[in-house]
């Protein structure tokens, strides 16, 4: 095996790292044609030809057929590898582990995306051939071209730590989208796509990430199908970043094809996004936007430190800073960064071109240094640059519909015909793996906006990427000094060139020691672009390799040199210096590596932990789980290690060696080495014993036995055996009373491993008692029950004997102890119960409690109670019971239900009854003129009535919580309708026995109904209790609004409305009626065709409204309307009501409202004709006679009297008169007009050029209150 291969395969591999390697390597394999020749060169042997039999056959063109479906990823990769490669791979990872790794690519967890990887040789080994493995298929698309740029989202990440992206998103259940809503709101655009993917489920629940479309998952309800799927247990989940997951339950573990339907929204174009993007205004943004910016602009450890720490990134950041303007919005900034990356960075051309970031080096900074990378590098760098410029972004991985085709060297969509589905399908394979970003674009000044999908590599928009940007230059650097001791001089020479022929003279080159972050100097180039710097390799140079860089703007390159010299490894501490395998295998090793000449710490030095038998050079192989570690930036190492199980117990020494290796460097400089001092380290093991414990021959763990009485003697026994079960003789075993904190005694085990001891019970507390035996650190516990009397001893209770059912002062307490009746010792952890009685009936539902119902370790009981607000106000009897229940805590938790022990049953009666009162229970007796107020006032029981100026007498008797109104309480009367206080409020002084009389002058009260309420106030709480009506009998004013003074009977709808007021107040509950009077003022209201009753009660605003027509049988003429207040009253206010159906108040009415009621006329067409010619030929013939005839009636259908004049005309279509004739009606209202067609008709020839119009004018016929009429004959 070559040295390169040994180094590769000796590297530690873990699952998380391989996932990242597989993802990255598949891209490389897919995009770059790694040939068999390359494998031969790399590994020293060529992979065998897959089929010897077909090696020399002629080439045949092939027909595309449907690939086998489903695929097994693991088997495909295993089949591709050669036996040698497979053997080498299995040395580092088992087939089961590799299969599990590949399964994790599509499991149901978004964890991380590791940007690190191994050298390209190992990438090729792991991923060889995997690019052609199919992941899923797409069906039902309408246009193949429109699908080419679709991105299929899998995972999204927000946290960057220099090496990988991780996600903080939480998953929540998300509804499947209904078919009905899709067809209502979206069909047919966007189209409904079908996805088909191979899964290998387990029996039971399975969680998986599924491809979805931006911005949110529209996964269709009822579309998820698979063999052996439990359709009742389908759950769609979405995380905070809109990644989609399915939880599916299967009845078998067979490989299946799972299908589902989805659609994505039509995404806005770059122009549309740019046109809607707005730059936010500082200090005007919302808190949500500020939280979003804090989350999605995170860089490790913060943006400022990140830029200052990573020089290569900073170079490009400075270049972008010249392009990005202060007034650029988020979308413009992002586009400039995207275009910059596309123009200034490239993809590797060969495997040798792609080098992963060294351990400890930021991945994006390394990408900036190398100037090249793959999809994940571009997307990651885009996110970090956008974040550095304040644009919220997140990293996405998934698949792109287009993949790179090796033959055509283009990005193509792979489409085949699927005979099973009878349609074309798009294949998505591992080679379609892709990375992109999402950015947040504010669309207003406050930060409200939208997330936008950004394809970093294959989409472009806007400016920001063209010359004269820094990548117009290339740079090389070398050193004449590559390695050696101090007292030499390194000549660093950098050469700047420009592929675009820009001048390279007078350009300032910066030389930097990247290893230690030291700027070595700046030198200006000559006309050839060359700049040299002499660096003394003196005592300021720390021993070891130094990465030396030369940079101009974003053009960066590097070389290295190594300084030889002394190095010191110092082992400072090992803690602990002794580990006991039975307790822990872990110890902490600390120290540092130091350059004694430069007087500086040595960073990134790889040290080895060695274990020697004490006092010898006999080294133990692989003594710890961690053998190597690297020093940090301060030269320190500090590692927790575990002693491996194969290291025998004994006395040892730990030493730390440095052998010339540095982290991130592939070479070893064994000339630089040192070994530390040694620190003693011991590994011990305690023998394993088993300790049995018996009380009265009852084995431990039977916690409720034995039960004994006071003054008994317990027989304690312990048996000690070793790990093989053999008795252990001659060992001292100790006995303890844990409950009483007593050391009982000790004894030595006999030949049977047994020891005994008697324990006299005289002072123990009643109830459970815990004993234990102890040998070394080994213990065993058990209980015995002391059957003795227990009593409840409470302090005088209840504390707070009178409590309120109101919001305050509603709490009472019990406090006391559970005691052993004989010796008063506290009874620990006993449970009490509280009982409350109303006479003989226990009340269960009206008590609320807090605190503990168990006695504490001192036997104390303290519990707080309160009553429910619905409890009845009275006195209650209280009791506390104890019934033998104990809840013992650690070290041996156990619940004892010893209800059968009569000694453990006791109770305590309260010293006093508990009185519950209602602070809001206010009783007010309310009288008006010596009469109790009533809830219902009717004709036989009307309310008190006054004329203005009379004195109204009100009496109140107030009792609160069985007491008279206390001092400082206040009573007042309020007119609820006007919100006025009547008279003056009265403040009680405590001597009135709750009585007070109000005498109210009614002069200022408005006419009509008043709702009077008693208000009682105490402790700033107002209690509205008891109310009544009174009436002020005074004339009221009736206003009206009416504008229809001429009303055509049976046709015109009129409305009259208004308000009843008095003294500026709108009144309530009064009845009004509408009346129609004729010219002689007789009531003819029967002619009103009302839409509502003739009478109505005004509303709470005092308003009324009547709408009506006039019946057809009403004679035309002069009339009057009148709105009348009838004196009747009806109203309701909560429980209070009044209905006075007899006129009670002084009635009043509006003034007469004059109206004219008019009659309508009807002209009836009987016909018209000409003679001798027939008018049906459509011509007017000169000399013919035209006859027009009809009838005139009233609107109610009766004939009008004879002699009415009717005007019959013939007109042109424009209304110009040709001829007219005024005729008189007969006794039946008939009329007949005739016309001789003569020269007056000369301008018309055709009947359809004329019209016949009949007109009736009441005024010409001396008719009043009649409507004119006109009819065009047809």
pLDDT reported for residue 1151: 93
CATH architecture type of domain 568-674: Sandwich (2.60)
Element (H, E) at 836: strand 830-838
Question: Is the domain covering 689-786 a CATH 2.60.40.1930 domain?
Answer: yes
pLDDT reported for residue 351: 57
Determine the topology of domain 1037-1158 in CATH: Immunoglobulin-like (2.60.40)
CB burial class (10 A; 0-12, 13-18, 19+) of residue 490? Answer: buried
Scan for tokens 């873990």, then name that residue: 14
Grouping H, G, I as helix, E, B as strand and the rest as coil, residue 1157 is strand
Q: CA Rg, the chain, in Å?
A: 52
Angle at 113 between CA 110 and CA 118, to 5 degrees: 145
Residue 698 and residue 380: Cα distance in Å, rounded?
69
Residue 1103: C-alpha distances to residues 1035, 1040, 1057, 1065, 1097 (Å): 17, 10, 7, 12, 9
Scan for tokens 């003196």, then name that residue: 538
Q: In this structure, are residues 726 and 719 in contact, taking their beta carbons and an 8 Å threshold?
A: no
Question: Strands 1046-1048, 393-400: parallel, antiparallel or unpaired by DSSP?
Answer: unpaired
**DSSP secondary structure letters along 620-678:** ESS-BS--EEE--TTSEEEEEEEB-TTSPSEEEEEEEEEEEEETT---B-TTS-EE---
CATH 2.60.40.1930-classified regions of the chain? 689-786, 922-1032, 1161-1273
Angle at 441 between CA 440 and CA 443, to 5 degrees: 140
375-388 and 363-370 helices, crossing angle to 10°: 110
Residue 22 and residue 442: Cα distance in Å, rounded?
37
pLDDT reported for residue 1044: 84
Shortest CA distance to 1011 belongs to which of 944, 1077, 915?
A: 944
Instruction: Name, in order, each residue with C-beta under 8 angstroms of 860's C-beta and a sequence gap of 6 or more.
Output: 815, 816, 817, 826
Residue 1192 and residue 1263: Cα distance in Å, rounded?
14
Q: What are phi and psi for residue 1017, nearest 5 degrees?
A: -120, 130
Q: Quote the tokens at residue 532.
A: 């040299």
Residue 714 and residue 757: Cα distance in Å, rounded?
8
Q: Quote the tokens at residue 811.
A: 């709490």
Determine the topology of domain 473-563 in CATH: Immunoglobulin-like (2.60.40)
Question: Strands 1153-1158, 1117-1133: parallel, antiparallel or unpaired by DSSP?
Answer: antiparallel
Phi-psi group of 1229: left, alpha or beta (phi > 0 → left; psi -120 to 50 → alpha; rest → beta):
left
Q: Which CATH number is 922-1032 given?
A: 2.60.40.1930
Shortest CA distance to 759 belongs to which of 711, 718, 719?
A: 711
Q: Quote the tokens at residue 1002.
A: 């009614």
Residue 1081 DSSP symbol:
-
Instruction: Name, in order, each residue with C-beta under 8 angstroms of 590's C-beta and a sequence gap of 6 or more.
Output: 571, 572, 573, 574, 575, 636, 637, 638, 639
Q: What are phi and psi for residue 667, nearest 5 degrees?
A: -110, 160
Instruction: Name, in order, each residue with C-beta under 8 angstroms of 543's C-beta and a sequence gap of 6 or more.
Output: 563, 564, 565, 566, 567, 595, 597, 598, 602, 672
Scan for tokens 């390697």, then name that residue: 21
pTM: 0.40
Q: In this structure, are residues 669 and 562 in contact, taking their beta carbons and an 8 Å threshold?
A: yes
Instruction: Name, in order, each residue with C-beta under 8 angstroms of 420's C-beta and a sequence gap of 6 or more.
Output: 66
CB atoms within 10 A of CB 134: 21
CATH 2.60.40.10-classified regions of the chain? 473-563, 790-917, 1037-1158
Grouping H, G, I as helix, E, B as strand and the rest as coil, residue 35 is coil
Q: In this structure, are residues 331 and 274 in contact, taking their beta carbons and an 8 Å threshold?
A: yes
Shortest CA distance to 651 belongs to which of 688, 612, 678?
A: 612
Instruction: Name, in order, each residue with C-beta under 8 angstroms of 394's C-beta and a sequence gap of 6 or more.
Output: 156, 157, 158, 241, 296, 383, 437, 438
Grouping H, G, I as helix, E, B as strand and the rest as coil, residue 328 is coil
Angle at 41 between CA 36 and CA 44, to 5 degrees: 105
Question: Is the domain covering 1161-1273 a CATH 3.30.720.110 domain?
Answer: no
All residue ranges of the chain with pLDDT < 50 are: 1-81, 85-86, 88-107, 117-128, 406-407, 464-471
Instruction: Name, in order, each residue with C-beta under 8 angstroms of 369's C-beta and a sequence gap of 6 or more.
Output: 312, 549, 556, 558
Q: In this structure, are residues 128 and 430 in contact, taking their beta carbons and an 8 Å threshold?
A: no
Grouping H, G, I as helix, E, B as strand and the rest as coil, residue 277 is coil
Cis amide leading into 706 (omega within 30): yes
pLDDT reported for residue 115: 58
CB atoms within 10 A of CB 282: 7
Cis amide leading into 743 (omega within 30): no
Length, in residues, of the chain: 1274
CATH assignment of 790-917, given 3.50.50.60, 3.90.1150.10, 1.20.200.10, 2.60.40.10?
Answer: 2.60.40.10
pLDDT reported for residue 109: 55
Instruction: Name, in order, each residue with C-beta under 8 angstroms of 1132's C-beta and a sequence gap of 6 or more.
Output: 1138
Residue 1125 and residue 1147: Cα distance in Å, rounded?
5
Instruction: Name, in order, each residue with C-beta under 8 angstroms of 1113's C-beta and a sequence gap of 6 or more.
Output: 1087, 1196
């Amino acid at each position: 095996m070559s040295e390169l291969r040994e180094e590769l395969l000796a590297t530690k591999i873990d699952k998380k790292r391989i996932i990242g390697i597989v993802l990255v390597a598949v891209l490389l394999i897919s995009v770059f044609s790694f040939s068999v020749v390359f494998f031969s060169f790399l590994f020293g042997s060529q992979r065998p030809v897959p089929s010897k039999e077909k090696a020399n056959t002629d080439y045949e063109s092939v027909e595309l057929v449907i690939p086998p479906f489903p695929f097994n990823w693991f088997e495909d990769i295993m089949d591709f590898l050669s036996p040698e490669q497979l053997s080498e791979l299995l040395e580092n990872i088992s087939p089961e582990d590799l299969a599990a790794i590949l399964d994790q690519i599509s499991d149901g967890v978004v964890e991380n995306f590791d940007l690190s990887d191994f050298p390209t040789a190992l990438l090729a080994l792991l991923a060889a051939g995997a690019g052609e493995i199919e992941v899923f298929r797409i069906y039902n698309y309408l246009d193949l071209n429109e699908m080419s740029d679709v991105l299929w989202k899998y995972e999204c990440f927000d946290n960057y730590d220099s090496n990988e992206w991780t996600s903080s998103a939480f998953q929540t259940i998300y509804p499947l989208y209904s078919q009905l809503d899709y067809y209502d709101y979206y069909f047919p655009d966007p189209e409904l796509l079908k996805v088909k993917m191979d899964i290998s489920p387990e029996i039971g629940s399975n969680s998986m990430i599924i491809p979805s479309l931006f911005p949110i998952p529209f996964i269709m309800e009822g579309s998820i199908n698979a063999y052996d799927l439990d359709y009742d247990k389908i759950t769609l989940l979405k995380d905070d970043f809109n990644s989609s997951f399915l939880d599916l339950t299967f009845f078998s573990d067979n490989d299946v094809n799972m299908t589902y339907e989805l659609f994505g929204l039509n995404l806005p174009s770059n122009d549309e996004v740019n046109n809607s993007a707005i730059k936010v205004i500082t200090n005007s943004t919302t808190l949500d936007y500020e939280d979003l910016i804090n989350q999605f602009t995170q860089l490790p450890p913060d943006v400022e430190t990140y830029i200052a720490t990573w020089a290569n990134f900073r170079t490009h950041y400075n270049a972008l800073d010249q392009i990005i303007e202060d007034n650029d919005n988020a979308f413009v900034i992002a586009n400039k960064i995207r275009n910059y990356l596309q123009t200034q960075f490239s993809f590797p051309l060969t495997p040798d071109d792609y080098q992963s970031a060294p351990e400890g080096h930021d991945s994006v900074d390394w990408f900036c240094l190398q100037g090249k990378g793959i999809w994940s590098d571009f997307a990651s760098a885009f996110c970090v640059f956008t974040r550095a410029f304040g644009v919220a972004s997140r990293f996405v991985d998934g698949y792109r519909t287009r993949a790179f085709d090796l033959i055509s060297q283009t990005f193509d969509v792979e489409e085949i015909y699927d005979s099973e589905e009878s349609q074309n399908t798009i294949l998505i394979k591992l080679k379609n793996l892709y990375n992109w970003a999402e950015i947040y674009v504010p669309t207003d000044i406050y930060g409200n906006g939208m997330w936008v999908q950004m394809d970093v590599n294959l989409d472009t928009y806007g400016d920001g990427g063209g010359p004269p940007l820094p990548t117009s230059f290339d740079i090389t650097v070398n050193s004449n000094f590559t390695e050696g001791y101090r007292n030499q001089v390194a000549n660093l020479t950098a050469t700047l060139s420009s592929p675009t022929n820009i001048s390279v003279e007078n350009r300032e080159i910066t030389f930097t020691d990247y290893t230690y972050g030291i700027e070595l100097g700046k030198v200006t180039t000559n006309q050839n672009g060359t700049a040299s710097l002499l660096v003394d390799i003196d005592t300021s140079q720390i021993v070891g390799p130094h990465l030396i860089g030369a940079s101009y703007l974003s053009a960066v390159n590097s070389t290295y040199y190594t300084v030889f010299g002394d190095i010191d490894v110092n082992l400072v501490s090992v803690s602990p210096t002794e580990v006991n395998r039975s307790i822990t295998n872990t110890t902490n090793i600390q120290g540092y590596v130091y350059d004694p000449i430069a007087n500086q710490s040595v960073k990134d030095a790889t040290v080895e932990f060695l274990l020697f038998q004490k006092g010898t050079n006999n080294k133990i192989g692989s003594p710890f789980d961690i053998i190597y570690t690297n020093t940090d930036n301060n030269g320190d190492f500090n590692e927790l290690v575990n002693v491996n199980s194969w290291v025998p117990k004994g006395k040892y020494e730990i030493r730390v060696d440095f052998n010339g290796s540095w982290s991130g460097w592939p070479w070893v400089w064994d000339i630089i080495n040192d070994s530390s001092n040694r620190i003693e380290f011991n590994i011990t093991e305690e023998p394993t014993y088993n300790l049995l414990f018996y009380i009265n021959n009852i084995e431990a763990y039977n916690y409720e036995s034995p039960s004994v009485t006071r003054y008994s003697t317990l027989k304690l026994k312990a048996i000690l055996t070793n790990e093989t079960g053999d008795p252990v003789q001659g060992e001292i075993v100790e006995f303890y009373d844990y409950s009483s904190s007593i050391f009982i005694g000790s004894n030595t085990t006999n030949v049977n491993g047994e020891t005994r001891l008697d324990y006299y019970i005289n002072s123990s507390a009643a109830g459970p008692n815990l004993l234990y035996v102890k040998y070394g650190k080994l213990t065993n516990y058990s209980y015995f029950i002391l059957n003795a009397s227990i009593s409840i001893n409470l302090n005088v209770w209840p504390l707070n004997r009178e409590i309120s059912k109101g919001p305050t002062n509603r709490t009472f307490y019990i406090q006391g102890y559970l005691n052993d009746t004989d010796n008063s010792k506290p009874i620990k952890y006993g449970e009490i119960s509280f009982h409350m009685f109303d006479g003989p009936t226990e009340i269960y539902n009206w008590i609320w409690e807090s605190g503990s119902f168990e006695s504490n370790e001192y036997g104390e009981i303290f519990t707080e109670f309160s009553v429910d607000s619905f409890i009845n106000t009275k006195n209650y009897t209280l009791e506390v019971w104890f019934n033998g229940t104990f809840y013992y805590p650690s070290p041996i938790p156990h619940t004892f239900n010893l209800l059968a022990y009569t000694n453990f049953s006791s109770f305590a009666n309260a010293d006093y009854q508990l009185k519950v009162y209602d602070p809001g229970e206010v009783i007010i007796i309310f009288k008006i003129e010596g009469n109790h107020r009533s809830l219902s006032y009717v004709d036989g029981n009307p309310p008190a009535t006054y004329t203005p100026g009379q004195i109204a007498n009100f009496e109140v008797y107030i009792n609160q919580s069985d007491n008279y109104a206390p001092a400082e309480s206040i009573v007042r009367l309020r007119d609820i309708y006007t919100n006025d206080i009547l008279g003056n409020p009265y403040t009680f002084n405590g001597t009135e026995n709750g009585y007070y009389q109000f005498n109210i002058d009614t002069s200022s009260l408005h006419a009509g109904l008043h709702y009077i309420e008693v208000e009682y106030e105490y402790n700033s709480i107002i209690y509205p209790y008891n109310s009544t009506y009174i009436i002020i009998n005074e004339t009221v004013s009736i206003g009206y609004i009416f504008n229809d003074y001429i009303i055509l009977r049976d046709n015109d709808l009129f409305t009259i409305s208004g308000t009843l007021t008095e003294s500026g107040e709108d009144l309530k509950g009064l009845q009004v009626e509408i009346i129609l009077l004729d010219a002689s003022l007789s009531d003819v209201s029967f002619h009103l065709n009302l839409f509502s009753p003739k009478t109505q009660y005004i509303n709470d605003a005092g308003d009324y409204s009547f709408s009506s027509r006039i019946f057809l049988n009403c004679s035309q003429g002069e009339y009057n309307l009148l709105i009348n207040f009838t004196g009747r009253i009806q109203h309701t206010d909560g429980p209070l009501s009044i209905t006075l159906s007899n006129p009670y108040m002084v009635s009043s009415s509006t003034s007469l409202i004059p109206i004219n009621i008019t009659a309508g006329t009807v002209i009836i067409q009987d016909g018209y004709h000409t003679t001798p010619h027939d008018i049906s030929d459509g011509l007017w013939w000169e000399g013919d006679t035209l006859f027009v005839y009809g009838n005139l009636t009233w609107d109610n259908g009766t004939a009008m009297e004879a002699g009415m004049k009717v005007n019959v005309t013939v007109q042109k279509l424009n209304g110009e008169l040709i001829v007219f004739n005024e005729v008189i009606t007969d006794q039946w209202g008939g009329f007949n007009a005739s016309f001789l067609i003569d020269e007056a008709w000369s301008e018309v020839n055709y009947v359809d050029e004329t019209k016949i119009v009949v007109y009736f004018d009441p005024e010409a016929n001396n008719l009043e209150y009649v409507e004119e009429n006109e009819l065009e004959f047809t």
